[in-house]
Every structure is written in structure tokens, then in C-alpha cells.
Structure 1
Amino acid sequence: MRSLTFTRGLALKLFAVALAVALRFVVAGDPTVERGLRVPLEFENLPGSVEIMGGPPEAVEVRVRGPSGVLRRLEAGDVAAIIDLGSGRLGDRLFDMMEGGVRAPFGVEVAQVIPSTVSLRLEVEPPPRLVPIVPVTEGEPAAGFVVGGVTVEPAMVEVVGPLSQFLESTEVITESIDLAGTAVPVNETVAVGVADSRLRLLAPVKARVT
């Protein structure tokens, strides 16, 4: 009985060794290849009072290197391009994407990132500010009629965005109101928006123009 147990144990050990050797040859025989991926650019640890300026790219091109079998199994989300903004430093910043900016699974090497450096400007976002709403009209009224005083309700709206943009001339405008051939008083409710794309309304607003 002891001889039978010993024989079975030896057989299992030999099988395990053979399997390990076979797997080693399989892995060793898997060629190393490269693959290009377009990876969305993400930001983490962004303080709530800080605004990202400078128009960062929406995604980066990443070339990864590794065993062909591993790269074939890569799925969306396995590779991530992330910029950590947790330091809280403001102003013009440069981030080297090859220095830990791209995270890949074990066994996958990041060979190249385009662009290799991402430039950002980080600014403090001040509290919302009240900005006047300017009505936009086009066309001329019917003969014998003129455009008198135009009123907007509400007259002002809260806007948020980077401090530097508020230092410039800022205004909120309405949708264009067509006055061509109009012979009656205008009374329209229209959408409102910020002319500067770097600013935004604190909340969606519609205005009544008369």
C-alpha cells in the first residue's frame, strides 16, 4: 500500500513538473509585439475650486509592448491615461505622460505616449458673479416701425469660470431674435448663453425679451 501511495505521489509531481515546463515553453514562444491604443485622458484629485485651462487633449495615443497573447486580450479600460492634480499647484503646469501617467496591466510595457507631455493651466475658480444679459436681435422691423427700448428679464445671471476670464469684458447673450418685418411688439422667451466658452452659467436660464 505504501508503495502504491509513493508511486501516485511521484506521478503527480512528475505531471506538475511537466506542466510547468510546458507552460514555460508556451510563454517563451509567445512573441513580443506592439499595439497602438487611443486612450481617454482622465484627471484625478482635482480640487473643487480649481479650473483646468489650456485646452488639454481629450485622449492620448499609447503604444504598448508585450506578449501577443496578452495584448490580444486587452480591453477598453485596461490601459488608462491619468493626470494627478492632487498637489494643488496653480499656474502653468507640464505633465510627463511617460512618468507614471499611463497605467497598464502587469506584463504590459508602455513604449510611447503621444503627446508625451501635456500642458495645462490651473486657475482658481472664484464664486459666481452676476453678469448682465445682452439681447441679440437681427433684421429691421416693418416700415414705419422702429426698435425702441429693449428689456430683458432677468436682467442679470450668475456665471462661473476662471478668474482670468472675468478680468476681461464678459457678457451673457440671448438667442438671436428676428425682427425682420415685425409690426407688433416683441415678447419672446429665449435661451441664454455665455459668449466665452471658458465660462458657463451657474444654472440653465431662459430670459423674456420685450
Structure 2
Amino acid sequence: MKFWRDVFLQNWGVKLTSVFLAFFLWMAMRGEPPAERVITVPLEIIRPAEMEITGERPSTVELTLRGATSNMWPAQPVPSCRIDLQDASEGEHVVSLTQANVRLPRASGLEVVAIRPARVKLVLERTITRTVPVEVSRGDPPLDLEVYAVTVTPPTVVITGPRTRVQAIREVSTESISLAGRRESFRTPARLTAEDGSILMTPPGPVDVYFQIGARRQLQTITNVPVVSEDPSFTLSPSTVALSVLVPISVPRKLTPGDFTASVAAVDLDPTKAILHVRPEVTLKKEIASGIVIMQVKPPEVTVRKTADN
């Protein structure tokens, strides 16, 4: 009995220390048991020059990693997943994700168990450039007024983006410009709107928009406007034309043939030809009011004949 008591109790502190040291040495030799952990990592896609990815483009994937938990601490560098499409052609590509796509920290001892999703579908399109007009989006002016003209500077923009999306765009619109309470012509900057975030515009805006505003107009018809030739050696048929003219309602009288000049310029006449068909040039003799516009000339052309004695 005394023998066993001496074995356990004599120098018990040294013996207990030896037991703990042996335990920790065993744990160190045994190693840490492997564990699994699911993490979300960024997906890096390398695309060819002058190509863009259209449609759905995942930005992350889930990795199931196996290894010592100490190698999965937040202080460790974050793994990532990379797809290299540097040499890919235009079109749809289905890429299977494997361990070769995963970039792990060096000497981490981590093993990739699974990748979700296992496949990624990507669509590549060529990047193209196109020039399109700027369309002004606007409201209506007060009831007694109308917009005579709208001028945009610059009138066009250059758009750049994926081929099919650029080809589908016919124009680029401005933000809506309110004309409520506007009774005079004015100029204003306007931002350009792009519904598709993949489209880049040059210049990006804003553009300068000028509105010419005046009294509401009504259509007047003026008949028997004489047509004259600058070269008397030619005769004209018919000798008169009729005009359809937009006239502001603020003009106090109806316009007459005497307000207009209709002529055939000598430079339009070919003396070697006996018969010509020429568009007469019609203008106001003097400015009566802004906003008067000649909408139509009937007939649009007159017949010009060289006189017999020439």
C-alpha cells in the first residue's frame, strides 16, 4: 500500500507537469483535425480586348474548403475564383468551374471540396461605336403658344457598348424639360438619359437646348402668287403658285400674294435645254412676324421653256 502511495504522491507536482507536457506533445504530433467551411469569394473574369459580357454576370461563387481551422481564420488572405476568356470568341460560353479556377493562399493546406455554381454561362459581344441623334424630351407650352423650333448642341452623341445593344439604339433622349409658364424663347442645359448602364456616351452631357417659342399658329392658304424668272429668255408655266403658310394668330391680317416673292434663279436654268422643271424659291418680301413658315408650294415645280426668238 505504501508503495502505491509513494508512486502517486511522491513528487506529485513534477509528475503532473510531465503528464501535461506529454499530452500537449501528443496533440502537437497528432495535428489539428480537418474541418470544412463554406465561404463566398469574388469571381474574376478576364475577357478579350474589345469584348464585353452581356446578360447575367455572377460576381461571386461559393467554395467549400477543407483544412485546418487555423488556416481559415479571417486574417488569412481571401481565396478567389478566376475565369480566363482571353482567347474566347464572340458568343455564348459555358465554363465548368474546377479547382484549377480557384486561387488559394500559399501554403494554406486548404483543399477545394466543391464550387457552387459548378458551371457559369457567359455571353461575349464585340464592343462597337455608333453616332446617334439627340432627341429632346419636353412638355407642352401654354395653350396660346407653341414651339417653333428646337435646336440641340451637339445634335449627336457617340455611343459605345455591346454590339446588339448599341445597334438597338436609334436615338438618345434628354431628361424631360418642362415648358410650363415659358412664354419666351429660352436656352437650357439638359442631361442625357441612358436606360442601359452598359452604354457609354461621348460627350456624356449635358447638352445645350434652345427652344424658339411664339404665338400659336394657324394655316393660311395664299393663291395666285406670281412666279418670275430671273432670265427673261424663259417663260414659266404655270405663272402662279399657291402657298400653305403657318401664321401666328397674333398677326392681325390675312397674308396676301403681295407679301411673297416667287422666282426661278438663273443659275438653275440650262440654256442648252428647251424645257426644264424647276422648284421656285418662295420668300417673304419683308419680315412680318417671327414664326411664319411656308409649309407647301403647289405645284412644287414649274415648267420653264426657252422662248422661240432665243
TM class, shorter-chain normalised? Answer: 0.7 to 0.9
Correspondence 1:184-195 to 2 at 5 A? 184-195=184-195
8 A Cα contact 1:172 1:195, kept in partner: no
Say if 1:156 and 1:203 are closer, same or farther in 2 by CA, change over 3 A: closer
- Determine the C-alpha separation between the residues in 1 that align with 2:30 and 2:136: 71
**Match status 1:35 vs 2:44:** no
1:183 partnered with 2:177: no
Larger of the two Rg values belongs to structure:
2
What's the counterpart of residue 17 of structure 1?
none
- Secondary structure, in 3 states, of the residue corresponding to 2:136? strand
Which residue number corresponds to residue 204 of structure 2?
A: 204
Counterpart of 1:63 in structure 2 is 64
Q: Which runs of 5+ in 1 are unaligned?
A: 1-20
Shift of 1:196: 3.0
Aligned to 1:159: 159
Matched, 1:118 2:123: no
Structure 1 residues 73 and 194: alpha-carbon distance in aligned structure 2, compared to 1, 3 A threshold: closer
Matched residues in 1 for 2:184 and 2:38: separation? 62
Change (3 A) 1:188 1:69: same
Question: Deviation of residue 183 (structure 1)?
Answer: 2.3
DSSP 3-state at the match of 2:193:
strand
* Pairwise CA RMSD: 2.5
Q: Which amino acid counterpart does residue 50 of structure 1 have in structure 2?
A: M
Mark the CA change 1:186 to 1:38 in structure 2 (over 3 Å): closer, same or farther: farther
Please tell me whether the aligned partners of residues 52 and 161 of structure 2 are also in contact (alpha carbons under 8 angstroms). yes
Alignment-derived partner of residue 141 in structure 1: 141
Provide the rounded CA distance (Å) in 2 between the counterparts of 1:162 and 1:99. Answer: 31
Look up the SS of the partner of 1:187 in the other structure: strand
What letter is aligned with 2:45? F
Alignment of 1:91-130 (within 5 A): 91-105=91-105, 106-126=108-128, 128-130=129-131
Aligned AA (1:142): P
**TM score, norm. by length of structure 1:** 0.76
Question: CA 1:151–1:27 in 2, change beyond 3 Å: closer, same or farther?
Answer: farther
Q: Which amino acid aligns with 2:35?
A: V
* CA shift for structure 1 position 33: 1.9
| Whole-Å separation in 2 of the counterparts to 1:79 and 1:27 | 28
Identify the range of structure 1 (190-199 vs 62-71) with the bigger mean alpha-carbon deviation.
190-199
- Deviation, 1:25, is 4.2
Alpha-carbon distance, 1:209 to partner: 1.0
Q: Distance in 1 between matches of 2:67 and 2:100?
A: 18
> Cα distance, 1:74 vs. partner?
5.1
Q: Residue in 2 aligned with 1:54?
A: 55
C-alpha distance in 2 between matches for 1:203 and 1:43: 29
User: Which ranges in structure 2 are unaligned for 5 or more consecutive residues?
Assistant: 1-23, 211-310
Give me the whole-angstrom Cα distance separating, in 1, the residues matched to 2:149 and 2:136: 11
- Match of residue 7 from structure 1: none
Alpha-carbon separation, structure 2, partners of 1:154 and 1:27: 76
> Is 1:168 aligned with 2:172?
no
SS of the equivalent of 1:149 reads strand
Q: Secondary structure, in 3 states, of the residue corresponding to 1:137?
A: coil
Change (3 A) 1:61 1:170: farther
Identify the residue that residue 308 of structure 2 maps to in structure 1: none
Which AA in structure 2 matches 1:117? R
Against the structure 1 CA distance between its residues 191 and 30, is the aligned structure 2 distance closer, same or farther, given a 3 Å change threshold? same
Aligned equivalents of 1:108, 1:166: Cα separation in 2: 45
The aligned amino acid for 1:166 is V
Q: Per-residue displacement from partner, 1:40-89 (whole Å, max 9, x unpaired)?
A: 22122x222111112201222222221111112554x5301111112232
